[in-house]
Amino acid sequence: MGKLWKGRFKSSTHPLMEEFNQSLRFDHELWRQDIEGSIAHAKMLSEVGLLDKADFKAIQGGLTSIAQDFAAGNIPLDPANEDIHMLVETELTARIGEPARRLHTARSRNDQVATDLRLWTRSKQDLLDKRLAQLELALVKLADREKKLVIPGYTHLQRAQPVLLAHHLLAYVEMFARDRERLADCRRRTNVLPLGACALAGTTLPIDRESTQRKLGFAAIANNSMDAVSDRDFVVETLAALSLIAIHVSRLAEDAILWTSSEWRLARLDDAWSTGSSIMPQKRNPDLLELARGKSGRVIGSLVALLVVLKGLPLAYDKDLQEDKEPLFDAVKTTDAVLSALTEFFPTLTFDQDRATELLSGGFLDATLLAEYLVEKGMPFRTAHDISGQLVRQAEERDVPLSGLTLTEFQAIHPDFTREVYERLDPARAPDFYRSAGSSGRRQVARALAAWKKRLS
List of domains in the chain:
6-105 (1.10.275.10), 110-357 (1.20.200.10), 367-425 (1.10.40.30)
If you average pLDDT over residues 356-362, what whole number do you get?
Answer: 95
Q: Is residue 245 within 8 Å of residue 176, measured between CB atoms? A: yes
Asked whether the beta carbons of 323 and 306 are under 8 A apart, the reply is yes
The predicted-structure confidence for 178-194, as pLDDT tens digits, reads as follows 999 999 999 999 999 99
Q: What percent of the chain has pLDDT over 70?
A: 97
**Where does residue 73 fall: left (phi above 0), alpha (psi -120 to 50 degrees), or beta otherwise?**
left
For residue 57, what are the CA distances in angstroms to 39, 64, 103, 166, 207?
10, 10, 12, 58, 19
* pLDDT in the model for residue 23: 86
How many whole angstroms separate alpha carbon 431 and alpha carbon 434? 5
- Structure confidence by residue, pLDDT tens digits, 287-327: 999 999 999 999 999 999 999 999 999 999 999 999 999 99
CA distance 40 to 23: 24
Q: What is the mean pLDDT of the chain?
A: 95
Cβ atoms of 364 and 396 closer than 8 Å: yes
Question: 325-345 and 233-259 are packed helices; what angle lies between their axes, rounded to 10 degrees?
Answer: 30
User: Apex CA 394: angle with CA 391 and CA 400, to 5°?
Assistant: 100
Predicted local distance difference test score (pLDDT) of residue 427: 94
Catalytic residues: 156, 277
Instruction: Tell me, letter by letter, the H, E, C secondary structure of 281-348.
Output: CCCCECHHHHHHHHHHHHHHHHHHHHHHHHCCCCCCCCHHHHHHHHHHHHHHHHHHHHHHHHHHHHHH
Q: Band of the pLDDT at 8, cuts 50, 70, 90?
A: low
pLDDT value at 171 more than 70:
yes
CB burial of residue 264 (10 Å; 0-12, 13-18, 19+) = middle
Give the pLDDT score at 10.
Answer: 62
Give the pLDDT band of residue 2 (cuts 50, 70, 90): low
Q: Residue 16's pLDDT band (boundaries 50, 70, 90)? A: confident
Angle CA 28–32–38, to nearest 5: 105
- 3 pLDDT above the threshold of 60: no
Name the residue among 232, 240, 239 with its Cα closest to residue 310. 232
Contacts of 301 (CB under 8 A, 6+ apart): 327
Mean pLDDT of 88-98: 97
Torsions phi, psi for 154 (to 5 deg)? -120, 145
Handedness of CA 80, 84, 86, 91 (dihedral sign): positive
pLDDT of residue 293: 97
pLDDT tens digits, 216-227 = 999 999 999 999
Q: CA-to-CA distance for 83 and 20, rounded, in angstroms?
A: 12
Quote the CA–CA distance of 244 and 299 in Å, as a whole number. Answer: 9
CB 252 within 8 A of CB 242: no
pLDDT per residue as tens digits for the range 360-415: 998 999 999 999 999 999 999 999 999 999 999 999 999 999 999 999 999 999 99
Enumerate the β-bridge partners of residue 175. Answer: none
How far is C-alpha 193 from the geometric centre of its chain's CA atoms? 24
**21 pLDDT more than 90:** no
Residue 430 pLDDT exceeds 60: yes
pLDDT 10s digits, 264-274: 999 999 999 98
3-state DSSP call for residue 201? coil
Is the pLDDT at 20 greater than 80? The verdict is no
∠ CA 150-153-154, nearest 5°, is 160
| pLDDT interval class at 6 (50, 70, 90) | low
Judged on CB neighbours under 10 Å (0-12, 13-18, 19+), 271 is exposed
